[in-house]
Amino acid sequence: MLVTMQATAKETAAVFIARQINNGDYISLGTNLPVPAGGVILAQMTHAPDAKINVLSYFVNLADVESFPDLGQIANPSVARLADGIMSVEQLIYGIRRMDLCFAGGLQIDRYGNTNLIGIGNDYNNLKFRGPGSVGTSTVMANCRKFFIYSNDHSPRTLVSSCDFISAYGWGSGGADSRTRLGLPGEGPKYVITPKAIMDFDEDSKHMRLKHLLPGTTIADVIQSTGFELIVPEQLEECEPPSVNELDILRLRVDLKGYLRKN
């Protein structure tokens, strides 16, 4: 009986993401982000049957689909079986103005929501670790209406004061006008989500701020696991736990392979 197991932090994060999605939103899902993918698909199977989801080139509606094949392999032709239509990557990138929500990952995420998928180190030609590359995040995060940042790792190694390199621009070096000054449309990064916590950004400084703790974490743990001084509000709102229905759908239809059940 899967539903008797308490929601894990990743499941709670996926449910949080699902609840941010409005019916009708156009959402783009990238590669290797099982928690955001789980949240988006859950939203579609519950309150957002008219959400428009693209998974790379495939434009899918999963509201009535019995189950999703594999959250860990999104770039998978079996997703094509669920597509209403298929567009080229070029059509996808040039249709970016209509995207409501996208997700960025990062080897590093800094206090202003800039992300780095390029690599770690000071010398570009002698990196300590070469990242996978920015995929489409530079172009997409610059142009879409808003985006969430997700990382599987909440540690001072990932949540850094400033990124060694910026592959997707968030709030630059801070300030509410840091995007409009550069002519970047959209609302920028809204939330940073990890298996420990959900964070947002201070309205004026755009400095990262703790919003919710996820199951199994304390404020002290989050502060210690963050490589810069996180803004911690005096009163922390509790993240409303997943309902039985949400967990049921998440486990039995969205995440059959259990990516989100492992912490």
What sections of the chain are H helices per DSSP?
9-20, 34-45, 89-94, 137-143, 219-224, 244-249
Nearest to another protein of 29, 197 (CB atom): 29
Contacts of 198 (CB under 8 A, 6+ apart): 13, 16, 191, 192, 211, 212, 214, 239
Nearest to another protein of 83, 231 (CB atom): 83
Nearest to another protein of 47, 261 (CB atom): 261
**Shortest approach of another protein to residue 12 CB, angstroms?**
21
Nearest to another protein of 66, 183 (CB atom): 183
Contacts of 209 (CB under 8 A, 6+ apart): 199, 200, 201, 202, 230, 231, 232, 233
**Shortest approach of another protein to residue 109 CB, angstroms?**
14
Nearest to another protein of 126, 235 (CB atom): 126
**Shortest approach of another protein to residue 139 CB, angstroms?**
3
Please report, as ranges, the residues that interact with another protein according to CB under 8 A. Answer: 31-32, 34, 56-58, 69, 72-78, 80, 86-90, 93, 118-119, 123-127, 129-140, 142-143, 165-169, 172, 181-185, 259
**Shortest approach of another protein to residue 153 CB, angstroms?**
14
Distance CA 49, CA 67 (A): 14
**Shortest approach of another protein to residue 254 CB, angstroms?**
16
Contacts of 15 (CB under 8 A, 6+ apart): 7, 39, 42, 242, 246, 247, 250
List beta partners, residue 101.
27, 146
DSSP 8-state assignment for residue 125:
G
